[in-house]
Amino acid sequence: MARNVAVGIGIMEYPFQSHDGFWRWVDLCEQGGLDSIWQTDRIVSKTPILECMTTLAAIAGRTRRIKFGVNVVSVALREPVLLAKQCATIDLLSGGRLLPGFGIGSPRGAEWTAMNIDTTTRGRKTDEALEIISRLWAGEALDYDGRHFKLTKASISPTPVQPDLPMWIGGSSEAAMKRTARLGTGWQAGAETPQTVGSVIAGIKAALVETGRTIDEDHYGAAFAFRFGGPDDPGVAKVSEQYRNRTGRDPKDSFAMGDADVILQRLTEYVEAGASKFILRPIADGDADMLLQTKRLIEDVLPLVAARWPKVRKAAA
């Protein structure tokens, strides 16, 4: 089945020297034809990381075309009614451009210890919260008696502009695959390799047979960091160390560094594994470096993607 490949861009740590540099970057993404902008979710951190929901609200007001999302909201750290309301508000004010992504949160995150939260309940809390969010989006006045959340006639208004607001699920565990098959309209990888992405997509499709649901072939995503240049470039060591501390993984196994052909090859590996939606994160430090890396992605890679994977017009459901 033909798939549409879309390239978005994202940030984890805040790499800019000024707020003006951030907004010039957002404007470049909007004008350059990138599909979407993504912000990582961290509440507690020693390095500067923007709060995700307020960042999306700000981007919604600055832009008119580009979509945006979080890869991914740590649902177990948030109150579900408020999160449902935030998403609905941002979707309304942006004219339906929100791409909400949800997960249980990284076990390496500082939040669990700093906020004294039990990590063993992450999955169960997330499952309950996602059910609550989806039902509130559907307009229910919700009575809910769960293990972690209890509601009485809870409702939100306005509801999202998108009639079926997408619910992208993150995570590569068996529980995440089942969660995606049960509740998700898409799956978005984090730092998984192409091999792992392929295995997870296969697992989700097998779980979908059991749930009797379907997920569009276009709605499987992957993410990786890129740089036009090499590991000895200024700022790369800093970004590499941040990545290693955050994920526990060797950046050499995850980063795509070189020219446009290197980045296209990495995209191809993920496409062959079944992914279609991409979040590419510039390995850069400072306003000028971020703008340059993003500009080269737009000018050097997007035309290659368009040529290799032409857009497929699909019939309306």
Query: Which residue positions in the chain have pLDDT lower than 70?
Result: 1-2, 314-317
**Residue 139, in any domain of the structure:** no
**Residue 15, in any domain of the structure:** yes
Task: Give the count of domains, the chain.
Answer: 1
The predicted structure's pLDDT at residue 306: 97
Nearest to 35 by CA among 59, 62, 60, 8: 8
**Residue 314, in any domain of the structure:** no
Count Cβ atoms below 10 Å from residue 256 Cβ, excluding itself: 18
Token pair for 246? 């955050």
**Residue 130, in any domain of the structure:** no
Give the number of C-alpha atoms closer than 13 A to the C-alpha of residue 120, restricted to the C-beta side.
Answer: 0
The predicted structure's pLDDT at residue 238: 85
**Residue 83, in any domain of the structure:** yes
Give DSSP secondary structure letters for 54-101.
HHHHHHHHH-SS-EEEES-EEGGGS-HHHHHHHHHHHHHHTTS-EE-E
How much is the pTM?
0.94
The span from the CA of 4 to the CA of 54, in Å, is: 30
pLDDT in tens, 143-158: 999 999 999 999 999 9
In sequence order, the 6+-apart residues with CB closer than 8 A to the CB of 191 are 223, 224, 247, 249, 254
DSSP state of 301: I
**222 backbone dihedrals φ, ψ, rounded to 5°:** -140, 165
The predicted structure's pLDDT at residue 8: 98
Question: Which residues constitute the domain of residue 268?
Answer: 6-115+156-308
Report whether 48 contacts 119 (CB < 8 A): no
**Residue 136, in any domain of the structure:** no
**Residue 137, in any domain of the structure:** no
pLDDT in tens, 185-213: 999 998 899 999 999 999 999 999 999 99
Here the CATH number for the domain that contains residue 21 is 3.20.20.30
**Residue 198, in any domain of the structure:** yes
